[in-house]
Chains A and B, each alone.
Chain A
Amino acid sequence: MTVRDVIRILDAKVICGDESLFDVEVSDACGSDMMSDVLAFVKNQAVLLTGLVNVQVIRTADMMDMVCIVFVRGKMPDEDMIAVAKRKDMVLLATPHRMYTACGLLWQNGLKGEHKDA
Protein backbone atom coordinates (compact mmCIF):
# COMPACT_ATOMS: atom_id res chain seq x y z
CA MET A 1 0.00 0.00 0.00
CA THR A 2 1.19 3.53 -0.69
CA VAL A 3 0.31 6.84 0.96
CA ARG A 4 -1.83 7.49 -2.12
CA ASP A 5 -3.85 4.35 -1.33
CA VAL A 6 -4.28 5.49 2.28
CA ILE A 7 -5.67 8.82 1.04
CA ARG A 8 -8.15 7.05 -1.25
CA ILE A 9 -9.25 4.36 1.21
CA LEU A 10 -9.86 6.87 4.01
CA ASP A 11 -11.44 9.58 1.82
CA ALA A 12 -8.76 11.74 3.33
CA LYS A 13 -8.05 15.38 2.75
CA VAL A 14 -4.36 16.17 2.30
CA ILE A 15 -3.36 18.83 4.82
CA CYS A 16 0.27 18.93 3.76
CA GLY A 17 2.85 16.77 2.04
CA ASP A 18 4.54 16.82 -1.31
CA GLU A 19 3.07 14.65 -4.10
CA SER A 20 6.41 12.87 -4.31
CA LEU A 21 5.72 11.40 -0.86
CA PHE A 22 2.45 9.81 -2.00
CA ASP A 23 4.28 6.93 -3.66
CA VAL A 24 6.07 5.92 -0.46
CA GLU A 25 5.26 2.32 0.45
CA VAL A 26 3.73 1.84 3.90
CA SER A 27 3.64 -1.59 5.49
CA ASP A 28 2.26 -1.07 8.98
CA ALA A 29 0.25 1.41 10.98
CA CYS A 30 -0.49 2.33 14.55
CA GLY A 31 -3.66 3.90 15.99
CA SER A 32 -3.52 5.63 19.38
CA ASP A 33 -4.13 8.82 21.31
CA MET A 34 -1.43 7.96 23.86
CA MET A 35 1.96 8.85 22.43
CA SER A 36 3.94 6.66 24.85
CA ASP A 37 2.00 3.66 23.55
CA VAL A 38 3.04 4.59 20.03
CA LEU A 39 6.65 4.90 21.18
CA ALA A 40 6.57 1.54 22.96
CA PHE A 41 6.49 -0.65 19.85
CA VAL A 42 8.97 -0.14 17.06
CA LYS A 43 8.01 -2.30 14.12
CA ASN A 44 8.45 0.02 11.19
CA GLN A 45 4.98 1.47 11.36
CA ALA A 46 4.80 4.13 8.70
CA VAL A 47 1.34 5.53 9.44
CA LEU A 48 0.03 6.99 12.68
CA LEU A 49 -3.73 7.34 13.13
CA THR A 50 -4.77 9.56 16.02
CA GLY A 51 -7.53 11.71 17.44
CA LEU A 52 -5.00 13.77 19.35
CA VAL A 53 -4.11 17.14 17.91
CA ASN A 54 -0.95 18.76 19.26
CA VAL A 55 2.62 19.14 18.11
CA GLN A 56 3.78 16.14 20.15
CA VAL A 57 1.94 13.92 17.67
CA ILE A 58 4.29 15.18 14.94
CA ARG A 59 7.34 14.79 17.19
CA THR A 60 6.34 11.26 18.13
CA ALA A 61 5.96 10.31 14.48
CA ASP A 62 9.32 11.91 13.75
CA MET A 63 11.08 9.90 16.47
CA MET A 64 9.53 6.73 15.02
CA ASP A 65 10.53 7.67 11.44
CA MET A 66 6.87 7.60 10.38
CA VAL A 67 5.96 9.21 7.08
CA CYS A 68 2.24 9.83 7.40
CA ILE A 69 -0.15 10.97 10.13
CA VAL A 70 -3.91 10.58 9.78
CA PHE A 71 -6.14 12.72 12.00
CA VAL A 72 -9.44 10.97 12.49
CA ARG A 73 -12.94 12.47 12.70
CA GLY A 74 -11.89 15.41 10.56
CA LYS A 75 -9.66 16.95 13.22
CA MET A 76 -7.33 19.63 11.95
CA PRO A 77 -3.80 20.51 13.08
CA ASP A 78 -2.87 24.17 13.45
CA GLU A 79 -0.31 26.15 11.42
CA ASP A 80 2.54 25.45 13.85
CA MET A 81 2.00 21.70 13.63
CA ILE A 82 1.83 21.84 9.86
CA ALA A 83 5.08 23.82 9.75
CA VAL A 84 6.89 21.19 11.83
CA ALA A 85 5.49 18.36 9.70
CA LYS A 86 6.62 20.08 6.50
CA ARG A 87 10.15 20.39 7.86
CA LYS A 88 10.12 16.65 8.54
CA ASP A 89 8.82 15.72 5.08
CA MET A 90 5.68 14.21 6.53
CA VAL A 91 2.26 13.80 4.97
CA LEU A 92 -0.63 14.99 7.17
CA LEU A 93 -4.11 13.71 6.34
CA ALA A 94 -7.58 14.29 7.77
CA THR A 95 -10.23 11.60 7.44
CA PRO A 96 -13.90 12.03 8.34
CA HIS A 97 -13.93 8.44 9.68
CA ARG A 98 -13.70 7.56 13.35
CA MET A 99 -10.58 5.82 14.67
CA TYR A 100 -12.22 2.38 14.71
CA THR A 101 -13.48 2.66 11.17
CA ALA A 102 -10.30 4.19 9.78
CA CYS A 103 -8.12 1.43 11.25
CA GLY A 104 -10.60 -1.19 10.04
CA LEU A 105 -10.58 0.15 6.50
CA LEU A 106 -6.79 0.11 6.27
CA TRP A 107 -6.58 -3.38 7.75
CA GLN A 108 -9.28 -4.67 5.40
CA ASN A 109 -7.39 -3.26 2.45
CA GLY A 110 -4.21 -5.08 3.38
CA LEU A 111 -2.27 -2.81 5.71
CA LYS A 112 -1.46 -5.54 8.19
CA GLY A 113 2.25 -5.23 8.85
CA GLU A 114 3.57 -8.21 10.71
CA HIS A 115 0.08 -9.51 11.44
CA LYS A 116 -0.62 -10.90 8.00
CA ASP A 117 -1.45 -14.39 9.22
CA ALA A 118 -3.48 -13.31 12.23
Chain B
Amino acid sequence: MIIEPGVSMDETIEDASASHLVGFCSQVQIKIEDNRVLLILPTAEEMPLELPWSEIWQEIKYLVKQREQSWPANAAVCLVVGDRLIDNRQLQSVEEVLTEAKLRLSAIRTSRRQTAVAAATAGYSVEQNLLPNPLSLFDVPPPSTEPVEMLAEPLYLKNTVRSGLEVRHPGTIIILGDVNPGGTVIAAGDVFVWGRLRGMAHAGARGNQMSQIMALQMEFTQLRIANSVARPPQKLPHNFVPEIAFMSKTGINLARASDFMKTHSFLLSEDCWVKKN
Protein backbone atom coordinates (compact mmCIF):
# COMPACT_ATOMS: atom_id res chain seq x y z
CA MET B 1 0.00 0.00 0.00
CA ILE B 2 2.58 2.52 0.98
CA ILE B 3 5.02 3.56 -1.64
CA GLU B 4 8.16 5.12 -0.47
CA PRO B 5 10.21 5.96 -3.52
CA GLY B 6 13.87 6.28 -2.87
CA VAL B 7 14.11 9.70 -1.42
CA SER B 8 17.18 9.49 0.65
CA MET B 9 18.25 11.90 3.22
CA ASP B 10 21.45 13.26 1.83
CA GLU B 11 22.71 15.28 4.65
CA THR B 12 21.63 16.55 7.98
CA ILE B 13 22.70 20.00 8.78
CA GLU B 14 24.24 19.85 12.16
CA ASP B 15 26.80 22.56 12.33
CA ALA B 16 26.30 26.12 13.40
CA SER B 17 25.30 27.23 9.94
CA ALA B 18 22.07 25.36 10.51
CA SER B 19 20.86 27.97 12.89
CA HIS B 20 19.93 30.38 10.13
CA LEU B 21 17.69 27.77 8.61
CA VAL B 22 16.08 26.99 11.88
CA GLY B 23 16.10 30.39 13.48
CA PHE B 24 13.26 31.16 11.22
CA CYS B 25 12.88 34.72 10.22
CA SER B 26 9.47 35.89 9.30
CA GLN B 27 9.14 38.54 6.69
CA VAL B 28 6.33 40.94 6.04
CA GLN B 29 2.93 39.90 7.36
CA ILE B 30 -0.56 41.18 6.87
CA LYS B 31 -3.28 40.88 9.49
CA ILE B 32 -6.74 42.24 9.72
CA GLU B 33 -7.66 43.54 13.14
CA ASP B 34 -10.51 45.75 14.31
CA ASN B 35 -11.51 46.82 10.85
CA ARG B 36 -8.08 47.85 9.86
CA VAL B 37 -5.17 46.24 8.15
CA LEU B 38 -1.92 45.68 9.98
CA LEU B 39 1.13 45.58 7.79
CA ILE B 40 3.85 44.10 9.93
CA LEU B 41 7.50 44.36 9.02
CA PRO B 42 10.00 41.93 10.48
CA THR B 43 11.95 43.20 13.45
CA ALA B 44 15.70 43.47 13.25
CA GLU B 45 15.84 40.44 15.52
CA GLU B 46 13.77 38.33 13.18
CA MET B 47 16.02 39.29 10.31
CA PRO B 48 19.53 38.22 11.13
CA LEU B 49 20.59 38.95 7.58
CA GLU B 50 19.43 42.48 7.07
CA LEU B 51 17.33 42.69 3.92
CA PRO B 52 17.70 45.77 1.77
CA TRP B 53 14.69 48.04 1.86
CA SER B 54 14.01 47.46 -1.83
CA GLU B 55 13.36 43.78 -1.08
CA ILE B 56 11.10 44.47 1.84
CA TRP B 57 9.28 46.95 -0.33
CA GLN B 58 8.94 44.41 -3.16
CA GLU B 59 7.51 41.99 -0.68
CA ILE B 60 5.00 44.49 0.66
CA LYS B 61 3.94 45.13 -2.87
CA TYR B 62 3.58 41.47 -3.62
CA LEU B 63 1.65 40.67 -0.45
CA VAL B 64 -0.70 43.59 -0.81
CA LYS B 65 -1.45 42.55 -4.37
CA GLN B 66 -2.00 38.96 -3.25
CA ARG B 67 -4.58 39.91 -0.68
CA GLU B 68 -6.24 42.68 -2.61
CA GLN B 69 -9.69 41.20 -2.27
CA SER B 70 -9.52 40.81 1.50
CA TRP B 71 -10.40 44.34 2.53
CA PRO B 72 -12.89 47.06 1.65
CA ALA B 73 -11.72 49.96 -0.49
CA ASN B 74 -10.02 52.75 1.37
CA ALA B 75 -9.42 50.65 4.47
CA ALA B 76 -7.00 52.12 6.99
CA VAL B 77 -3.59 50.56 7.39
CA CYS B 78 -1.34 50.58 10.40
CA LEU B 79 2.27 49.95 9.53
CA VAL B 80 3.92 48.01 12.35
CA VAL B 81 7.66 48.51 12.14
CA GLY B 82 8.88 47.54 15.60
CA ASP B 83 12.41 48.70 16.21
CA ARG B 84 13.19 49.22 12.55
CA LEU B 85 14.48 52.55 11.35
CA ILE B 86 12.14 53.88 8.69
CA ASP B 87 12.72 57.19 6.98
CA ASN B 88 10.45 59.54 5.16
CA ARG B 89 11.16 58.20 1.71
CA GLN B 90 10.46 54.66 2.79
CA LEU B 91 7.17 55.72 4.33
CA GLN B 92 6.30 57.40 1.10
CA SER B 93 7.11 54.32 -0.97
CA VAL B 94 4.86 52.22 1.28
CA GLU B 95 2.10 54.76 0.93
CA GLU B 96 2.36 54.58 -2.86
CA VAL B 97 1.96 50.81 -2.87
CA LEU B 98 -1.01 51.03 -0.52
CA THR B 99 -2.70 53.76 -2.52
CA GLU B 100 -2.42 51.61 -5.61
CA ALA B 101 -4.25 48.85 -3.76
CA LYS B 102 -6.90 51.32 -2.58
CA LEU B 103 -5.61 51.29 0.97
CA ARG B 104 -4.85 54.25 3.16
CA LEU B 105 -1.79 54.47 5.36
CA SER B 106 -3.04 56.02 8.56
CA ALA B 107 -0.79 55.04 11.43
CA ILE B 108 2.70 53.84 12.23
CA ARG B 109 3.40 51.65 15.21
CA THR B 110 7.01 51.81 16.30
CA SER B 111 9.23 51.48 19.31
CA ARG B 112 11.96 53.62 17.79
CA ARG B 113 12.16 57.32 18.36
CA GLN B 114 13.56 58.36 14.95
CA THR B 115 10.93 56.37 13.12
CA ALA B 116 8.21 57.93 15.23
CA VAL B 117 9.55 61.38 14.43
CA ALA B 118 9.69 60.66 10.71
CA ALA B 119 6.13 59.32 10.78
CA ALA B 120 4.77 62.26 12.76
CA THR B 121 6.51 64.74 10.49
CA ALA B 122 4.92 63.08 7.49
CA GLY B 123 1.52 63.50 9.12
CA TYR B 124 0.73 59.96 10.21
CA SER B 125 -0.55 59.12 13.61
CA VAL B 126 2.05 57.37 15.69
CA GLU B 127 1.46 54.51 18.07
CA GLN B 128 4.51 54.08 20.19
CA ASN B 129 5.26 50.79 21.77
CA LEU B 130 7.93 49.96 24.22
CA LEU B 131 8.01 46.27 23.49
CA PRO B 132 10.21 45.27 20.56
CA ASN B 133 7.35 43.96 18.46
CA PRO B 134 4.17 43.32 20.37
CA LEU B 135 2.49 41.62 17.46
CA SER B 136 5.14 39.17 16.61
CA LEU B 137 4.14 35.69 17.53
CA PHE B 138 7.75 34.86 18.07
CA ASP B 139 9.17 37.45 20.35
CA VAL B 140 12.07 35.26 21.26
CA PRO B 141 13.68 33.25 18.49
CA PRO B 142 13.32 29.73 19.81
CA PRO B 143 16.28 27.42 20.22
CA SER B 144 16.50 25.00 17.35
CA THR B 145 15.45 21.91 19.25
CA GLU B 146 12.22 23.20 20.77
CA PRO B 147 9.30 22.56 18.49
CA VAL B 148 7.22 25.67 18.31
CA GLU B 149 3.57 25.39 19.20
CA MET B 150 2.42 28.82 18.24
CA LEU B 151 2.05 29.29 14.53
CA ALA B 152 0.65 32.18 12.60
CA GLU B 153 -2.57 31.68 10.67
CA PRO B 154 -2.00 29.81 7.41
CA LEU B 155 -0.99 31.84 4.39
CA TYR B 156 -3.09 31.06 1.36
CA LEU B 157 -1.62 31.95 -2.02
CA LYS B 158 -3.47 31.48 -5.23
CA ASN B 159 -0.84 31.73 -7.92
CA THR B 160 2.35 30.29 -9.25
CA VAL B 161 5.48 30.76 -7.18
CA ARG B 162 7.84 31.57 -10.00
CA SER B 163 11.59 31.45 -10.18
CA GLY B 164 13.30 33.95 -7.91
CA LEU B 165 10.36 34.31 -5.57
CA GLU B 166 10.76 33.26 -1.97
CA VAL B 167 7.65 32.92 0.15
CA ARG B 168 8.23 32.79 3.89
CA HIS B 169 5.62 32.52 6.56
CA PRO B 170 5.71 31.74 10.29
CA GLY B 171 2.85 29.28 9.89
CA THR B 172 1.52 26.86 7.31
CA ILE B 173 1.63 27.84 3.64
CA ILE B 174 -1.02 26.70 1.19
CA ILE B 175 -0.39 27.28 -2.49
CA LEU B 176 -2.99 26.79 -5.14
CA GLY B 177 -0.68 26.68 -8.13
CA ASP B 178 2.77 25.43 -8.97
CA VAL B 179 6.08 26.11 -7.31
CA ASN B 180 8.40 26.45 -10.27
CA PRO B 181 12.09 25.59 -10.35
CA GLY B 182 13.95 28.43 -8.66
CA GLY B 183 10.92 29.25 -6.50
CA THR B 184 11.16 28.78 -2.74
CA VAL B 185 8.57 28.20 -0.05
CA ILE B 186 9.61 28.32 3.59
CA ALA B 187 7.08 27.69 6.35
CA ALA B 188 7.31 27.29 10.08
CA GLY B 189 4.41 24.87 9.71
CA ASP B 190 3.40 22.61 6.82
CA VAL B 191 3.62 23.28 3.11
CA PHE B 192 0.68 22.35 0.88
CA VAL B 193 1.14 22.66 -2.86
CA TRP B 194 -2.04 22.06 -4.76
CA GLY B 195 -0.08 21.75 -7.98
CA ARG B 196 3.42 20.75 -8.97
CA LEU B 197 6.25 21.28 -6.55
CA ARG B 198 9.32 21.75 -8.70
CA GLY B 199 11.24 24.26 -6.64
CA MET B 200 12.36 24.13 -3.02
CA ALA B 201 10.07 23.66 -0.04
CA HIS B 202 11.01 23.87 3.60
CA ALA B 203 8.51 22.84 6.26
CA GLY B 204 9.09 23.16 9.99
CA ALA B 205 11.67 25.80 9.29
CA ARG B 206 11.90 26.63 12.97
CA GLY B 207 12.74 23.08 13.85
CA ASN B 208 9.42 21.26 14.10
CA GLN B 209 10.04 17.73 12.83
CA MET B 210 6.34 16.97 12.70
CA SER B 211 5.90 19.35 9.78
CA GLN B 212 5.11 17.97 6.38
CA ILE B 213 5.20 18.89 2.75
CA MET B 214 2.38 17.85 0.45
CA ALA B 215 2.10 18.22 -3.29
CA LEU B 216 -0.03 16.89 -6.10
CA GLN B 217 3.18 16.27 -8.03
CA MET B 218 6.49 15.95 -6.22
CA GLU B 219 9.13 17.10 -8.68
CA PHE B 220 11.09 19.20 -6.21
CA THR B 221 14.67 20.32 -6.59
CA GLN B 222 15.08 20.06 -2.84
CA LEU B 223 12.96 19.38 0.24
CA ARG B 224 13.73 20.43 3.77
CA ILE B 225 11.98 19.49 6.94
CA ALA B 226 13.27 21.04 10.16
CA ASN B 227 17.01 20.73 9.67
CA SER B 228 17.13 17.84 7.22
CA VAL B 229 17.61 18.14 3.51
CA ALA B 230 16.60 15.74 0.74
CA ARG B 231 17.29 15.75 -2.94
CA PRO B 232 14.98 14.11 -5.45
CA PRO B 233 15.41 10.46 -6.37
CA GLN B 234 17.42 9.79 -9.53
CA LYS B 235 14.38 8.67 -11.42
CA LEU B 236 11.13 10.55 -11.24
CA PRO B 237 8.01 8.43 -11.60
CA HIS B 238 5.98 8.82 -14.77
CA ASN B 239 2.62 8.77 -13.12
CA PHE B 240 2.46 11.15 -10.26
CA VAL B 241 0.17 10.67 -7.30
CA PRO B 242 -0.24 13.22 -4.53
CA GLU B 243 2.53 12.62 -2.07
CA ILE B 244 3.50 13.67 1.39
CA ALA B 245 7.03 14.22 2.65
CA PHE B 246 7.70 13.59 6.33
CA MET B 247 10.49 12.95 8.80
CA SER B 248 11.05 9.26 9.41
CA LYS B 249 13.70 7.73 11.60
CA THR B 250 16.09 7.64 8.66
CA GLY B 251 15.39 11.09 7.30
CA ILE B 252 12.91 12.61 4.88
CA ASN B 253 10.60 10.08 3.24
CA LEU B 254 7.82 10.24 0.73
CA ALA B 255 4.52 8.39 0.92
CA ARG B 256 1.28 8.41 -0.96
CA ALA B 257 -0.79 11.20 0.56
CA SER B 258 -4.21 9.59 0.46
CA ASP B 259 -3.67 7.09 3.24
CA PHE B 260 -0.78 8.63 5.11
CA MET B 261 -2.63 9.53 8.27
CA LYS B 262 -4.08 6.02 8.49
CA THR B 263 -0.75 4.36 8.12
CA HIS B 264 1.56 6.67 10.05
CA SER B 265 1.68 8.30 13.42
CA PHE B 266 4.04 10.75 15.05
CA LEU B 267 6.14 9.41 17.88
CA LEU B 268 7.02 12.23 20.21
CA SER B 269 9.70 10.18 21.94
CA GLU B 270 11.51 9.66 18.65
CA ASP B 271 10.54 13.02 17.24
CA CYS B 272 9.62 11.44 13.91
CA TRP B 273 6.82 9.72 12.03
CA VAL B 274 6.60 5.94 12.20
CA LYS B 275 4.50 3.37 10.42
CA LYS B 276 1.60 1.96 12.37
CA ASN B 277 1.47 -1.82 12.51
Q: Do A and B assemble together?
A: no
